[in-house]
Every structure is written in structure tokens, then in C-alpha cells.
Amino acid sequence: MTGRPGGRPLVPAYLSTGGVARPSRAHLERLSVLTGSGEPAPAELPAAQAALLEELEYGSLTVLEAAALLRLPVSAVLVLAADLLDRGLILARAPIPPARRFDPDLLKRVADGLRDLKHR
């Protein structure tokens, strides 16, 4: 099978999920981190799920990164990942929350303290 110009696959994304439109797990997000569980993959695993498992053999990926590597929409990868989670073939954890902003006053006091130490 050859791809279209621009590298897009000929197979529609919904076929890679078996026609399933929504993931079975609502807590998965675009930045959820996926990791292989180490369980052997069954032989009857659909091609798209096998490809996702293969990508996770090399380490953890976010759903967004996996979608880019597999050239699938994020929504399709969410469905694939949820099914693999249900089968116990991968693990997922919530995205790391963004760090809180630093206190500018604290930063100024630290800088002032360092300047005082330098001039002693």
C-alpha cells in the first residue's frame, strides 16, 4: 500500500480503531504518559495496537507523541491506548502538572542575599 502525497496513509483513522469512536477510559488525555507493561502481546492484536506497543518498547511516550509517530489522530490513539490498558498490555499515568510560578519577591530576596555574601 502506498501513501498519498504528503505522507498521509490511505486507510482512514477510524479503521485503525475497529470503528470505535470513543475511548473506554475517560481519564486518558493528550499528555497522559503511556508505558508498556512488559506483558507479551497476543498474536491476534490488531495492527495499529501492535504498532503502538512496538513504539512503547523503547520507552514511555505521551499520547500526543505516539500519535505523531504512528501518523494517527490523537483521538484514534486514545481509543487504541484505552483498549490496550483494558487488556493490561500498557500502563498510563496522568500528565505531570505544570509547575507553579515562582514568587518574584522570594527571587529578589535570594538575589539580594547573594549580593550581600559576595561583598563580604
Residue pLDDT, tens place only, 1-23: 445 555 555 566 666 766 666 66
Closest CA to 36 of 93, 85, 91: 91
What's the pLDDT tens digit per position in 43-75?
889 888 999 999 999 899 999 999 999 999 898
> Quick check: 25 and 80 in contact, CB under 8 A?
no
pTM equals 0.68
Reduced to 3 states (helix: H, G, I; strand: E, B; else coil), residue 105 is: helix
In the sheet with 33-36, reading across from the earlier edge strand, the strands are 61-62, 33-36, 90-93
